[in-house]
Each structure stands twice: as C-alpha cells, then as structure tokens.
Amino acid sequence: MIAPPIAAPVPAAPAPPPACDFRALRARFPTLAERTYFATHCFGPLLDATLTDLDEYRRTLALRNRVIDVWLERVDEIRRLFAQLIHAGPDDIALGGNATACHGNIAAALQPSPGRNRIVTTSLDFPSTRYLWQSQARRGFEIVELASPDGLAMPADALVDAIDDSVAIVAVALVAYTNGAMLRARRVIDAAHAAGAIVVLDAYQAIGVVPIDVQELGADVVVAGTHKWLHGASAGLAFAYVERGLAERLTPAYPGWFGHSEMLTFDGRYAPAPGARRFEQGSPSVEAVYAARAGVRLAIDVGVDAIRARSLALSDRLIAGADALGLPLGTPRDRAERAGVVCLGVDDPGRVARELRDRGIDVDTRPGTGIRLSCHPCNLEDEIDRVLGELASRARS
Ligand SMILES: Cc1ncc(COP(=O)(O)O)c(C=O)c1O
C-alpha cells in the first residue's frame, strides 16, 4: 500500500545529549546490535533515523510532479549540512554522484600551462582518483606519483620536496584508504600555495571522523562522500568544497542546469552559479540525499571532535592489545598521522577476515594491508577485547 504523500519537512531527529554518551548513542545503530562492527571505513553502520528519512522519501514518490519543491528543499538542506560540517558556506559546496565525479569536474576545469603543468599525487590515493589524475596526462599534464616513505605513512616530506613552480595541482588523500594513514596536510598546503599550486584533498576517509575546518585547513578543494564515516545508507552522493575565489576563476567544462545561476529560469545560455555550485550538473540522486541526511546531522550534533577523541581512544586500546600479541601495526603509530582505521599484520588476512565474519565480526583487507579495522565511536571496549581474543588464536596459520 502506498503511504500518503507528504509535502511537509521531515521532523527533526532526536538530538543527542550535549556531551555525547557514546554508549547511549550506540542504541541508534541497528547494525551495532547485530554485528561486532569494525568496517566503517568500508560502509558505516546503519543509523535508525536514516530509515525514517528513507520512509519519508518513499512517501514523496507518490507526489510525482508535485515533488520537485520538496526534493529541492532536501537537496538545499544537504548542501547546508555539508557546509556546516566543514565550516564552509552552502554555495561553496557542489554535490556530485560520487567522489571520482567530483574530482573529475574540478580536473576538467583546470588547464596545464607552459611551465606549470605538473600534477603531484601519491600511490596511496584511492585507485579511482589515481586513474583520474593519471589520465590527465592526455590533456598535457605531467603526473608525478609519490610513494610512502616507509610503506605506512603519507609522504608529506616527498610532497613538499616535489612542489615547485612547475606544479599546478597537488591532488592527495587526506587519509589513505588502505591503512588510515593521515597526511600532515597543513605543511603540504602551505608549500603548494607558496609555489602557486592548488591543493585538491580527497577527504573521504576523514569526513565524519577527523574534524575538517576548510578555513583553517586552507585547502582549495576538498572532496568527500557519505557512506563511510558519515553513515550514509547508500552510495550515490558526494560533494566538493571549492574555495570561493578559485571557484569563481574556473569555468566548468561540463556544466549543467543545477550549476546555473538561475536554474529555474531555464535560460538557454549557461551562466555559472556563484561559488562551487557551478560544478553541479544534472539532477542529483534524491534517494541518496535522503539516505545521507541523518548521518551528516548526527556528525554535526555530536561534534566530530568528540567522535575523533573516542575513535582514537579505542584505536589506542586496539593497538596496545595488538602490540601485546606481537601483531605488526600496519598504520602509523603517531596519533597525528592516523584517522579511524587500524591495520594489523596477520598470516593470510583474507582467511582471517572470513573467519571473523563467520563469527559475527566485520573487518576487511586490501592488498598489502593486513586486516583493516575501523574504530567507530560507538564500538565498545569489550568489542576491541573480543576481536583481539579472536586474533590471538587466528593471526598465525
Ligand atoms: C579515499 C577514498 N576516496 C574515494 C572513495 C570512493 O570514491 P567514489 O565515491 O568515486 O566511489 C573511497 C572509497 O573507498 C575512498 O576510500
């Protein structure tokens, strides 16, 4: 049976207590009741309010052509929420279908020029963005891809050393998808700006677990998406922050009506919207917008500082336990150089991940990482101890 259509805004989600009680907050994640969940770096656990929002989305479907204003309000709202989360303005946000597409729209608007044609990036970046930056070689860029100095940390020194007047773009992950290594970004951004280069940060593995203030950070572009540490329930939504001055110097190569300054005038000639909005193209995935809303609100309400503090405390416990078991740490030990993921060396990580999964514990692995475990702020100390207990008997084949 189709539920009655609604046009009214979705009611506010219950606010968490001011100083967050993560044990109480845990009750709002059905996934955490069912699984011992250490896989937020892959897909965040489901949040109860997201299901309410998705029910609302289903009811809007019955509105058909009357739905547009309702959906446009939700789309505006998610831009405002992303902006609030990273201390930007709503017009500084361009929504996109995924992080690669967001990167692609920025890349396409940037041109190499004689004497300034290098893109500096790293081999720790997410493969999809690596393909994207590598393929800019056919547009006249020269690509320099730097490796980790020790196989664990982001190559901050090498990035700084590689930056000179020939560099147009430094495109780098704030947090590596492989092992959660975090870049000391400020140094790299300062060096890039001193040399006249722009910095594009992939913050997908940081957003929601590492506080991001774009004013303080000074990055020119920050790209992130919703289904990991922001608890978006489905894929299909990402965003790019673009610093206002830069955005307004750039003309999108592939514009669309959502990036028009007066989208609903249906003007036949493109006039770029102010700020980053100009990088939007056609209709967004509205279902993904509804699926993302509650998680972004939660991050704002709880505060990413508190989330980070709790996640680090749990990571420290996991690392101390792994040290005691003699398991090699595959993530930088320094707190300033890791985000929410801890990697541990085990024999045959695929086997260990499968055996743990069969025992109700979600972890995963990527080539060369050992097993990857996310410390979600609503994990419990007992769960850390349980996973360590399982690893004690399984880590060596
Ligand atoms: C660092 C990083 N960037 C980007 C992505 C996803 O990119 P996309 O939204 O294009 O699928 C991931 C997903 O795992 C990631 O870890």
Q: Is 288 in the pocket of ligand 1 (CB under 6 A)?
A: no
pTM of the shown model:
0.95
Per-residue pLDDT tens digits for 186-220: 999 999 999 999 999 999 999 999 999 999 999 99
Planar angle of CA 228, 233, 238, nearest 5 degrees:
60
Q: Which residue(s) pair with 201 in the sheet?
A: 172, 222
Distance 246 CA to ligand 1 centre (A): 24
pLDDT in tens, 32-65: 999 999 999 999 999 999 999 999 999 999 999 9
Helix (H) or strand (E) holding 295: helix 286-302
Atom of ligand 1 nearest to the CA of 203: 1
The residue ranges of DSSP E strands in 227-282, in sequence order, are 238-242
Q: Closest by alpha carbon to 390, among 310, 328, 327, 311? A: 327
- The ligand 1 atom nearest the CA atom of 102: 10
Ligand 1 center to residue 243 CA distance, Å?
A: 21
Integer Cα distance of 372 and 94 in angstroms: 31
**Residue 111 near residue 136, CB atoms below 8 Å:** no
Provide the pLDDT for residue 3: 44
Name which residue sits closest to atom 16 of ligand 1, judged by CA: 177
For the record, the structure tokens of 362 come out as 């979600």
| Alpha carbon of 198 to ligand 1 centroid (Å) | 21
pLDDT over 70 (residue 146): yes
- Report which of 236, 209, 198, 223 is spatially closest to residue 93, judged by C-alpha positions: 223
- Residue 30, helix vs strand vs coil: helix
Positive or negative torsion for Cα 251, 256, 258, 262: positive
Q: How far is CA 387 from CA 26, 101, 321, in A?
A: 18, 36, 10
**Higher pLDDT, residue 1 or 195:** 195
**Res. 325: pLDDT tops 90:** yes
Backbone angles phi, psi at 139, to 5 degrees: -100, 10
Measured in angstroms, how far is the CA atom of residue 103 from the centroid of ligand 1? 11
- Tell me the pLDDT of the chain averaged across its residues: 95
Q: Is the pLDDT of residue 10 over 50?
A: no
d(C-alpha 361, C-alpha 363), whole Å: 6
Which is the closest atom of ligand 1 to the Cα of 238?
9
Please work out whether the CB of residue 202 comes within 6 Å of at least one atom of ligand 1.
yes
Predicted pLDDT at 395:
85
Q: How far is the CA of 228 from the centre of ligand 1 (A)?
A: 9
Q: Is any ligand 1 atom within 6 A of the Cβ of residue 126?
A: yes
The neighbouring-strand residues paired with 95 are 239
Decide whether any atom of ligand 1 lies within 6 Å of the 344 Cβ.
Answer: no
Average pLDDT of the segment spanning 343-367 = 97
**Residue position matching structure tokens 């774009």:** 214
Q: Which is nearest to 341 in space by CA: 308, 299, 368?
A: 308
pLDDT bin (cut points 50, 70, 90) of residue 18 is low
Q: Is 177 in the pocket of ligand 1 (CB under 6 A)?
A: yes
Average pLDDT over residues 253-277: 97
CA distance 120 to 380: 40
Tokens of 396: 């060596």
CA–CA dist 372, 306 (Å, integer): 22
Res 2: pLDDT = 41
Q: Which two tokens stand for residue 385?
A: 């101890």
Judge whether 318 and 384 are in contact, CB under 8 Å: yes
Which residue, among 207, 287, 268, 210, has the nearest Cα to 240 in the 3D structure? 207
CA angle 303, 307, 308 (to 5 degrees): 115
The stretch 340-347 carries a mean pLDDT of 98
pLDDT in tens, 59-104: 999 999 999 999 999 999 999 999 999 999 999 999 999 999 999 9
CA 26 – CA 127 distance, rounded (Å): 33
- Is residue 25 scored above 80 in pLDDT? yes
- The token duo for 356 is 């743990």
* Ligand 1 atom showing the smallest separation from residue 225 Cα: 9
Whether the CB of 315 sits within 6 Å of ligand 1: no
E strand or H helix that includes residue 145: strand 142-146
Q: What span, in angstroms and rounded, lies between the C-alpha atoms of 179 and 306?
A: 22
pLDDT for position 5: 43
Quote the pLDDT of residue 7.
46
pLDDT bracket for residue 397 (50, 70, 90) = confident
Q: How many helices (H) and strands (E) does the chain have?
A: 14, 12
Q: Which residues are CB-neighbours of 121 under 8 A, at least 6 positions away? A: 129, 130, 133, 143, 144, 145, 146, 170, 171, 172
Q: What percent of the chain stands above pLDDT 70?
A: 95
Predicted confidence at residue 4, as pLDDT, reads 43
Does any ligand 1 atom lie closer than 6 A to the CB of residue 341? no
